[in-house]
């Protein structure tokens, strides 16, 4: 009699098979929809895109500007004292986590005319990738006191508008 309860009733197999198949047929589309939804959230659910451009600008080894273009697309204005003859701007540009080759900085007036171009050698590491410009070269480029600084390189499509530069008589400040 004990052996009778231990046996699996063979007549239940077709019923269970149908029940299991109906469950899997229903779960299949739900699981696919859930996986697609999770992949969509993972793909677009984050604010920061992969890579991105950033710029850091120093005036005589003092950081005066830093910007990540994926989060902040506004253009800042740097005020520079043109009377200080030995001041130097050093610009570090990071393009998608890499240092570009054939780099150049362009100085333009408000109408988009290129006034001066500085070309820089290829850098091997981040520490040597700073592009240095004497402030007196900026002030001697035109009679204007407002300029725009752009970055361009071989790997960079077009040019990046970095900052506006305004030459003043007093100490430098960031607006």
Tokens of 60: 């005589």
Look over the chain and give the mean of its residue pLDDT values, rounded to a whole number: 78
**53-174 topology per CATH:** Immunoglobulin-like (2.60.40)
Q: Which residues contact 125 (CB under 8 A, 6 or more apart)?
A: 99
Q: Nearest Cα to 156, choosing from 76, 92, 102, 114?
A: 102
43-52, 94-103, 151-160: least confident range: 43-52
Domain ranges of the chain: 2-44, 53-174
pLDDT score recorded for residue 26? 59
pLDDT score recorded for residue 25? 59
Tokens 């006034």 map to which residue?
A: 115
Residues pairing with 59 in the sheet:
62, 89
- Give the whole-angstrom CA distance, residue 58 versus residue 16: 74
The average pLDDT across 27-35 equals 67
Whether the predicted model's global pTM rises above the 0.75 cut: no
Let me know the angle formed at the C-alpha of 173 by 56 and 67, rounded to the nearest 5 degrees: 25
Give the residue, 93 or 43, on which the prediction is more confident.
Answer: 93
Tokens of 153: 């390189």
pLDDT digits (tens, 9 = 90+) for 74-117: 888 988 887 777 889 999 988 887 788 899 999 998 888 999 99
């Amino acid at each position: 009699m004990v052996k009778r309860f231990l046996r699996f009733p063979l007549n239940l197999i077709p019923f269970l098979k149908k029940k299991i198949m109906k469950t899997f047929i229903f779960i299949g589309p739900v699981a696919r929809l859930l996986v697609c939804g999770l992949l969509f959230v993972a793909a677009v659910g984050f604010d920061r895109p992969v890579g991105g451009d950033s710029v850091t600008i120093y005036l005589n080894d003092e950081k005066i500007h830093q910007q990540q273009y994926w989060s902040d697309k506004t253009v800042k204005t740097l005020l520079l004292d043109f009377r200080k003859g030995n001041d130097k701007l050093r610009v570090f540009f990071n393009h998608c986590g890499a240092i570009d080759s054939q780099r150049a900085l362009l100085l333009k007036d408000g109408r988009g005319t290129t006034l001066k171009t500085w070309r820089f050698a290829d850098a091997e590491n981040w520490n040597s990738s700073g592009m240095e410009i004497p402030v007196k070269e900026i002030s001697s480029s035109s009679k204007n006191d407002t300029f725009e600084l752009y970055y361009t390189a071989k790997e960079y499509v077009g040019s990046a508008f970095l900052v506006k530069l305004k030459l003043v008589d007093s100490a430098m400040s960031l607006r």
